[in-house]
Amino acid sequence: MKPAIIVVDIGNTSTSFALAREGRIVGITRLPTHGPNRPMIRRCLAELTRGCRIQGAAVCSVVPAQNRLWIRELKRLTGRIPLRIHHRLKLDVAIDYPRPATIGADRLANACAATERYGTPVIVADFGTALTFDIISRNRAYIGGIITPGLPLMTDYLADRTALLPRIRLSDEGKRAVPFQRQRVIGKSTEQAMIIGARLGYTGMVREIFSRLKQSLQEPRIRLCATGGYASWALAGSDIRVSIDPDLTLYGISRIYDLNRPED
């Protein structure tokens, strides 16, 4: 069996990690970013890598406070310092942006992965704690993006700032989401009304932003792909032409590792 690498995506809400081998992402595991301690992370990594030959690791992080913990555990497991994703690495994508150091590492990984999987021009919508749109031009350059509040921020804000609205667990709703064509338009309870507002509202947001970007870029055939924990719940079955790609960020991390493979 060929060796694998460990890829880790540390996000604001959750951390995803998996094995990457020959372009495939397997064994995806998710933990709350701010909950797990060192023994829990060590145990999860041991389960992930049991029986595997591990060549190295790569980390993409937007939560600096968590970096030291993960880097130490990955180094202990692999015997070498993991690759940290940043704008100075080989990305197979040029960066046409005034301050490239301010681009989130996850957005760089998405740009690299989307360019490889879908070609250019392409737009990546990432449904995480924030909903981000990143644009890669026809000549393979990252040229900027759009950031909006994500689905969990909207539902949590409503619960935090009102006396009677409940907290909705969108992760649970995603498991039992009805097909988009059968989605209610009028809520018959407070919870239903909030869920409808989140799902239809974000579909409308994606549709409008995508339309305006196509007009601005003068690229009527530009591709749209979506990733992140809430992408399928928000968009699957809608009338928006989108490729939903759950492991896009992890694949991008693995590809950047391959492009910058450390010398053995």
The whole-angstrom separation of Cα 214 and Cα 20 is 33
Q: Please give the distance of CA 10 from its chain centroid, rounded to a whole number.
A: 10
Determine contact, residues 139/96, Cβ cutoff 8 Å.
no
Distance CA 83, CA 71 (A): 9
258 part of the active site: no
Marked catalytic residue, from 9, 92, 96, 106 = 106
Q: Do residues 208 and 200 lie in contact, with contact meaning Cβ atoms separated by under 8 Å?
A: no
Order the strands of the 4-10 sheet from edge to edge. 24-32, 14-21, 4-10, 54-61, 83-84
**How far apart, in whole angstroms, are the C-alpha atoms of residue 128 and residue 134?**
13
Query: How many contiguous H segments (helices) and E segments (strands) does the chain have?
Result: 8, 11
First to last CA, the chain: 18
Token pair belonging to 122: 């392409």
C-alpha to C-alpha distance for 229 and 13, rounded to whole angstroms: 10
Residue listed under structure tokens 């809520």: 187
d(CA 249, CA 104) in angstroms, rounded, equals 12
Q: CA 57 to CA 10: how far, in whole Å?
A: 13
Residues known to be catalytic: 106
